Amino acid sequence: MDSNDFAKQLGNLAALDDPVRRKLYLFVVGRGVDVSRDEAAKGAGVTRALAAFHLDKLVEADLLQASFRRPEGRGGPGAGRPPKLYRRSTTVLDISLPRRRYELAAHILAQALVRAQSEASLEALRTSAREWGKQLAAEVGNGRSASLPRVSRALEACGFEPAEADGEVVLRNCPFDSVRSESKELVCGMNLALVEGLLEGLKVEDVRARLAPRPDMCCVALKISGAE
């Protein structure tokens, strides 16, 4: 991250200083789908006009992205102008003072493994990821709640954003997205092993993780074993 990028990230964080704007941002991010101004206003407990103002400020700060689209089934003459919808942008907020270069180390290590392309090195990576998954499960704690909600909370603590979709728990983000862009197979295999280790550490036997790539999401999805 050069000085210009660093300054931009500081500006992005400053955009969240306003409590109403921060509340709207967290509401939109938490939904994980396109959100209208009316929905955001209701979720944040503010007027539609105030919500519209702050949502557009978040778009200007590159924290949200906006689009116009009519709901399904509503079109043709008299349908009016499509509503403005908001969702989280691809901007990643990651600032430390003084600056750390962990991502650079991750890129270097990933490239070294890709160049090695040996089954032994890939298996070593997956084994390490599983062990880290178990360790992270121990840090989160087992608890006694139902399997999927407990797994979802553990995934959130690991930096994933789980959400239910089509009877599965999908992960709306990849915490290692910037590294995945240059070594997708490597990172997706590591992600799967990490989640499998997490499930093992949580002693969850009725939830299965599998590779299920979706656009703009993590490659891993989870489902109750035997569920249709």
The answer to whether the pTM exceeds 0.85 is no
pLDDT of 118-142, one tens digit each?
A: 778 788 888 999 998 998 888 776 6
Question: Domains in the chain, start-ordered, CATH in brackets?
Answer: 3-88 (1.10.10.10), 118-224 (no CATH)
* pLDDT at residue 193 in the model: 92
- What pLDDT, on a 0 to 100 scale, did the predictor assign at position 45? 92
Which pLDDT score is estimated for 81?
Answer: 73
Position 10 scores a pLDDT of 61
Nearest residue to 130 via CA among 47, 42, 194, 190: 194
Residues 35-53 have pLDDT tens digits of: 999 999 999 999 999 999 9
Looking up tokens 């490659």 gives 219
Confidence at residue 217, expressed as pLDDT on a 0 to 100 scale: 84
Phi-psi bin for 204: left (phi > 0), alpha (psi -120 to 50), beta? beta
pLDDT value at position 5?
60
Of the candidates 11, 121, 130, 116, which has an alpha carbon nearest to the alpha carbon of residue 63? 11
pLDDT at residue 69 tops 90: no
| Residue positions counted in the chain | 228
d(CA 197, CA 128): 9
Summarize the confidence of residues 93-103 as an average pLDDT. 57
Environment class of 195 (CB within 10 Å of its CB; exposed 0-12, middle 13-18, buried 19+): buried
Percent of the chain with pLDDT over 70: 78
Quick one: tokens of 15? 């955009």
